[in-house]
Amino acid sequence: QQQVKQSPQSLIVQKGGISIINCAYENTAFDYFPWYQQFPGKGPALLIAIRPDVSEKKEGRFTISFNKSAKQFSLHIMDSQPGDSATYFCAASNLDKIIFGKGTRLHILP
Amino acid sequence: GAVVSQHPSRVICKSGTSVKIECRSLDFQATTMFWYRQFPKKSLMLMATSNEGSKATYEQGVEKDKFLINHASLTLSTLTVTSAHPEDSSFYICSASETRANEQFFGPGTRLTVL
């Protein structure tokens, strides 16, 4: 019940394309859903986050879509750039801890 | 945004020695700090949660005598890997939270290599 399932494991997108990463959770007690971006050898950095009372949140080229009834959420990266190449982790959390997905290695072709 | 630092960024040690890693919140008071371990190309695994002035709460399977955590102040937590062995080699990441656990700010990580 504590799992967060993330797909795909890896993703290759052409420059300018849309990158889409999907996640699903089981525990309805989660009330905060962040996405993290991690470059090799660095700690994860918060990219964007959403709470379950909102169905979509957009910040620049990054959009989270949230489907509470399906317990699914996704990250869309518009106009993907080579600098977006990194590992992305979705997560779900409550007051106590953050549960991370297994990560998606995104590679944007120049 | 909130900044969390870690020191050292890299450490190489001999098997059997102990290594201390520091985690500091630079511009906020962290009531709770978290320690994670990350293997290559894997996700973050929570090791323990510590609150200032209290004993750390360890996740199942994490040896508390092996990984000593001290949260002595609202801006500093330390992780000491005692009697390190090659299997302890990993990327250790701390995070800090001012209020809720879900609003964590992550440090840059420490690469530990045990020879």
Per DSSP, the residues of chain A read ---EEEE-SEEEEETTS-EEEEEEE--TT--BEEEEEE-TTS--EEEEEE-TT-SEEEETTEEEEEETTTTEEEEEESS--GGG-EEEEEEEE-SS-EEE---EEEEEE-
- Whether residue A34 lies within 8 A of chain B, CB to CB, comes out as yes
- Whether residue B50 lies within 8 A of chain A, CB to CB, comes out as no
Asked whether residue A14 carries a pLDDT value surpassing 90, the answer given is yes
Percent of chain A with pLDDT over 70: 98
Which three-class secondary structure string do you get for A32-46? EEEEEEECCCCCCEE
Asked whether residue A1 carries a pLDDT value surpassing 70, the answer given is no
CB contact under 8 Å between A44 and B6, yes or no, is no
Q: Which of residues 56-95 of A touch B (CB under 8 A)?
A: 89, 93-95
Q: What is the mean pLDDT of residues B9-20?
A: 97
pLDDT of residue B9: 97
Residues of B in contact with A36 (CB under 8 A): 106
- Whether residue B103 lies within 8 A of chain A, CB to CB, comes out as yes
The token pair at A82 is 């080579």
pLDDT of residue B31: 86
As a whole number, the mean pLDDT across chain B is 92
Q: Which of A13-27, A55-69, B53-67, B92-106 has the lowest mean pLDDT?
A: B92-106
Q: Please list, in sequence order, all residues whose beta carbon lies within 8 angstroms of the beta carbon of residue B105, skipping any fewer than 6 positions away.
A: A46, B1, B2, B3, B4, B25, B95, B96, B97
Q: Which of A101-105, B76-80, B96-100 has the lowest mean pLDDT?
A: B96-100
CA atoms within 13 A on the CB side of B9: 6
- Whether residue A102 lies within 8 A of chain B, CB to CB, comes out as yes
- Interface probe for B, chosen from A2, A35, A100 (most Cβ of B below 10 Å), is A100
Residues of A in contact with B33 (CB under 8 A): none
Asked whether residue A8 carries a pLDDT value surpassing 90, the answer given is yes
Percent of chain A with pLDDT over 90: 88
CB contact under 8 Å between A94 and B101, yes or no, is yes
